[in-house]
Amino acid sequence: VKNAAGSIIGVLCTVKDATALSSSIADISYGETGYAFIVGQSGAIIAHPNTDKVIAQENVLTSEDSSLSQLAALVQKMTSGESGYGQYTYSGTTSIMGYAPLHNVSWSLAITAPKTEVFASIYALEKILILVGIFAVIIGIGVAYYIANSVVKPIKISAGYALTMAEGDFTADISEEMI
């Protein structure tokens, strides 16, 4: 705030609840348990569905927990302003995360979900394709058996007639379809 002479005489600032930004991204989700979060330029979480992480300003970049190294590598890329995706394991769950910088601020938004949820439709498709493949093989075997039998049956009958004639019996009747 400046006086009439243009000198600064004070500062006006506002404070917003730490959970307000978390509320604004609460509707962003993926699958059943996927969620969005925002990290600041330092890597600290500034919006997350678990507001305790926001209040504690959790930061995987400064964490000494070696199990967070995969996540920390992705967050490092986020703080560098990169866009991309990656995989990490957190609390025993492997997740896929996509991230992109937010314009006009030094923050980055990430959406993460367990790998099993991200690839659920692919796994279902894989099972369907396996079943279709098995069904096609069974049908193929059936068709091959039918075709082979239709080729071999007349040969067996002809061989029987040939044996009969080889024994000198020329009285056997040969069916019309064999001639």
Q: What is the mean pLDDT of the chain?
A: 89
**100 vs 56, which has greater pLDDT?**
100
Backbone dihedral region for residue 75 (phi beyond 0: left; psi -120 to 50: alpha; all else: beta): alpha
pLDDT surpassing 70 at residue 142: yes
Record the pTM: 0.66
Give 110's pLDDT tier (boundaries 50, 70, 90).
very high
Dihedrals phi, psi of 149, to nearest 5 degrees: -65, -40
Q: Are 117 and 33 in contact (CB under 8 A)?
A: yes
Task: Please report the pLDDT score of residue 18 as a whole number.
Answer: 65
CA angle 83, 88, 90 (to 5 degrees): 130
Give 66's pLDDT tier (boundaries 50, 70, 90).
confident
Average confidence (pLDDT) over 150-172: 86
**Three-class SS of residue 179?**
coil
Dihedrals phi, psi of 170, to nearest 5 degrees: -105, 15
pLDDT surpassing 90 at residue 177: no
What is the 3-state secondary structure of 19-79? HHHHHHCCCCCCCCCCEEEEECCCCEEEECCCHHHHHCCCECCCCCCHHHHHHHHHHHHHH
Task: Please report the pLDDT score of residue 174 as a whole number.
Answer: 77
pLDDT surpassing 70 at residue 179: no
